[in-house]
Chains A and B, each alone.
Chain A
């Protein structure tokens, strides 16, 4: 729903929309929004780098790294007697494609809860990437096609793959080329990337292809001979779910905090009041109450689809 003034935490579709009057966000987020929605998708853009602050109607607003995707920010709102932090989406695992989450002390903490159930305990992502590379070594005759969300997850997965020493070109579905270019322009080295479309049949044998989840079953993927299908997502934690999606190679790589990180972060903010949104509000609110914290669910518009996780 377009509004007069918006503070945008990050450029994912469930957090950033076109049509607002005035947008306040990090320069990277504004860059990504312009890329996705066009230069004139807001009337007025106001860039606010991490750590700097502006005064909006007597409230001091500042943005701080959320560790979720490039440009992602927590919003700190300060008045004389109160500090409120809105986390946006965040994670605590280190990520070579964006600055790490900084815990902020506050009175009221508005937290996301995408993976707000204790069954979500995300493993070391490097181990998951090694699983992918092992499968590629074991089945060199096949393509490996990994479903990743186009913004954030794709670039993080590529960066992780490079960190594990894989230097061959990585092939991209057309929908994610723009985003990867933007990351590279912003100083995130992703190595050699190529477009996966328009190649002769069989050209992708032994190659790694990244594509948005919704395109896995599209005709272009049939040009690959017998691809091994993977998906990098926190949802891959549950094997039954991987099976339902027809995913053979689930990679549990999430851009959101897992259960333990949600609990740890809530403690670190030292906030006495927690508002929970964007996921399993019920479970996290229950946990806060068992910790003696005041907590309430905050039902926001536009729950995100599961691809971005």
Chain B
């Protein structure tokens, strides 16, 4: 536990990305199995143990510490978990369990006994160990490491490429012993059963009309509509069916009507939409069906789901990701002919000759059908996880939309004064996020409640009425124009920014970059 606590502290406090990677590589090298595997699960948010509320630990502390002194201390420190860790009054000299020992103990314990078990260990720990134990036990593990950064460290540790790690990542399980053996050259690559696994999606870059169209040959690209739903991956076969969101969350249970209808064996990429007879309704309609625990008959009838297929990753058990797009498209068409479906259809290919012609089609589609834009995919492109350069592009209807990350939230005024309703958002600049603007409206009252709750659960520090939140929530921000500004750290000022949509489904690392925003400067 000592080793892990020191590691966690170093990761939290190191601002530099490279140094964070160096700390991880060193830890993976020095820590034994299965501790390092559990640490990896902790860092990447893939550990689910029953959590203990910090308030329960506070009750234990308050049996021993004067409440007035506790109150003053909490005011000073500003974070309940850290206050508890620092003020902890009992100290014995018992040995602490290892990280894996502790996690297994917490997993096995009856929920009512958890606070007592944790209290016992806190008494045997140093302040930094107490801090780490409380972070683990309360499930508050945000230390500024994204899953991607952890994977980068794994790749560096084992002398592999990030792509090699990505391809198997979602088939791995804690404590990752087979992964570490392979990375250390002591074992074969872990075997992944694709039918139980999410395979990271291939993503696109926004097209830069001035720069890109000069270099791109229209005949080498396939165009499709960009549908305004949710990107999903269907994993079918061996008696199993799953539907993953782009972040790898299994959301199939929310759409039983869709899942029941599916048959065959494949891994498919598509857009989840709702509407009768394959005619999509608005994104708002789709939202009625997202994040629901139970789905009524009425909902199923009003908002029938379907998936519009873009691509095929596995045809049966065969990995076809290495084939060029045109061949995968032929495979997809043949698969659907062999496996007739009631709730799947194919994304249409838009015929066009020149970029100018496609521009016209795109504008007409936006006007008449409300299309968001078109996708351009290189006909030779293999299916590469992540966002490879030069293969797939999105050409959006409204260029003045960016995906930005919520950084700070502040209480509003008047009737909103009890809600966090003023948002500062930012975009990526290198490996850091820089603030680019503030928005106060564009969301419904219901969404305000949801964001407010999210903010309260993801606060990492507080300055008066302002909360800094963990950088996880993506907003699609609409704005009228962008201007260069020397008064803003980002160098750009947005005119009239508003929250266009809350992207609960989108991981922060896929938010836009400052370069994208700069390209809007007029």
Identify the A interface with B (CB < 8 A): 117-121, 123, 127, 131, 138-139, 226, 228, 237-240, 242-243, 246-250, 252, 280, 282-283, 286-287, 290
Give B462's nearest chain A residue, CB to CB. A240
Q: Is B300 an interface residue (CB 8 A)?
A: no
B281 within 8 A of partner (CB): no
Most buried by B among A119, A238, A242, A246: A119
Beyond A239-B82, A286-B68, A290-B66: 16 further Cβ-contacts under 8 Å?
Answer: A117-B76, A118-B69, A118-B70, A118-B89, A119-B83, A119-B87, A120-B86, A228-B19, A238-B76, A238-B82, A239-B9, A240-B82, A243-B12, A280-B72, A283-B69, A283-B72
Compute how far the CA of A287 lies from the CA of B70 in the bound complex, rounded to whole angstroms: 11
- Do the beta carbons of A123 and B126 come within 8 Å of each other? yes
* Complexed CA–CA distance, A274 and B127 (Å): 29
**Listed residue (A237, A239, A242, A246) with the most chain B CB atoms within 10 angstroms of its CB:** A239
Distance (whole angstroms) from the CB of B67 to the closest CB of chain A:
11
Which residues on B sit within 8 Å (CB–CB) of A118?
A: 65, 69-70, 73, 87, 89
Of the candidates A118, A243, A286, the one having the most CB atoms from chain B within 10 angstroms of its own CB is A118
A242 touches B13 (CB 8 A): yes
Nearest neighbor of A122 in chain B, beta-carbon distance: B127
Within B299-335, the residues touching A (CB, 8 Å) are none
Q: Does B79 contact A (CB under 8 A)?
A: yes
How far in angstroms is the closest Cβ of chain B from A147? 14
On B, residues with C-beta under 8 Å from A are 6, 9-10, 12-16, 19, 22, 26, 65-66, 68-70, 72-73, 76-79, 82-83, 86-87, 89, 126-127, 131, 461
Q: Which of B69, B82, B89 touches A287 (beta carbons < 8 Å)?
A: B69
21 contacts between A and B (CB under 8 A): A118-B87, A120-B86, A121-B127, A131-B6, A139-B22, A226-B19, A237-B86, A239-B82, A239-B131, A240-B77, A240-B79, A242-B13, A247-B13, A248-B13, A248-B14, A248-B15, A250-B13, A282-B72, A283-B73, A286-B69, A290-B66
Residues of A within 8 A of B73 (CB): 117-119, 283
A243 to B6, CA, bound (A): 15
Most A C-beta atoms less than 10 A away, residue of B14, B26, B69, B461:
B69
CB neighbours of B19 from chain A (8 A): 226, 228, 248
Name the residue in A121, A127, A246, A290 with the highest tally of chain B Cβ atoms < 10 Å from its Cβ: A121
Report the nearest B residue to A289, measured CB to CB: B68
Chain B residue at minimum C-beta to C-beta distance from A241: B77
Cα of A226 to Cα of B26 in the assembled complex, Å: 18
Residues of chain B within 8 A (CB-CB) of A283 are 69, 72-73
Given known A-B contacts A117-B76, A131-B6, A280-B72, A243 and B126 have beta carbons under 8 A apart? no
A243 contacts across to B, CB distance below 8 A: 12-13
Which of chain B's residues have a CB closer than 8 A to the CB of A280?
A: 72
CA distance A238 to B16 in the complex (A): 20
Of all chain A residues, the one with the shortest Cβ separation from B461 is: A240
Query: In the complex, what residues of B have CB within 8 A of residue A139's CB?
Result: 22
B87: chain A residues at CB < 8 Å are 118-119
The residue from A119, A131, A226 contacting B86, defined by CB atoms under 8 A apart:
A119
Complex: chain A residue closest to B23, CB-CB:
A138
What residue of chain A has the Cβ atom nearest to residue B26's Cβ? A138
Q: Give chain A residues whose Cβ lies under 8 Å from the Cβ of B6.
A: 131
Q: Which residue of B lies closest to A284 (CB)?
A: B69
Closest B residue to A141 by CB, please name it: B22
**Separation of A237 and B85 alpha carbons in the complex (Å):** 11
B69: A residues at CB distance < 8 A: 117-118, 283, 286-287
- Residue of B12, B66, B86 contacting most chain A CB atoms (<10 Å): B86
**Smallest beta-carbon distance A263→chain B, Å:** 11
Q: Which residues from chain A contact B461 at a C-beta distance below 8 Å?
A: 240
The interface residues of chain B lying within 8 Å CB-to-CB of A287 are 66, 69
Instruction: With CB as the reference atom, state the residue of chain B lying closest to A135.
Output: B10
Kindly state the separation between the CA atoms of A118 and B65 in the bound complex, as whole angstroms. 9
Give CA–CA (A218, B127) in the complex, Å: 32
| In the complex, chain B residues whose CB is within 8 Å of the CB of A117 | 69, 72-73, 76
Nearest A residue (CB) for B9: A239
Query: Which 4 A/B pairs are nearest by Cβ-Cβ distance?
Result: A119-B86, A119-B73, A248-B13, A248-B14
Q: Would you give the shortest CB distance from A217 to chain B, in whole angstroms? A: 13
Q: Which residues of B contact A282 (CB under 8 A)?
A: 72
**Are the C-beta atoms of B127 and A237 separated by less than 8 Å?**
yes
| Selected contact of A249 from candidates B13, B26, B72, B79, CB within 8 Å | B13
**Bound form: Cα–Cα A248–B127 in Å:** 17
Asked if A123 contacts B127 (CB within 8 A), the reply is: yes
Q: Smallest Cβ distance from B11 to chain A, in angstroms?
A: 10
Minimal beta-carbon separation of B89 from chain A (angstroms): 8
B35 to chain A, nearest CB (A): 18
Please report the C-alpha to C-alpha distance between residue A151 and residue B364 in the assembled complex, in whole angstroms. Answer: 74
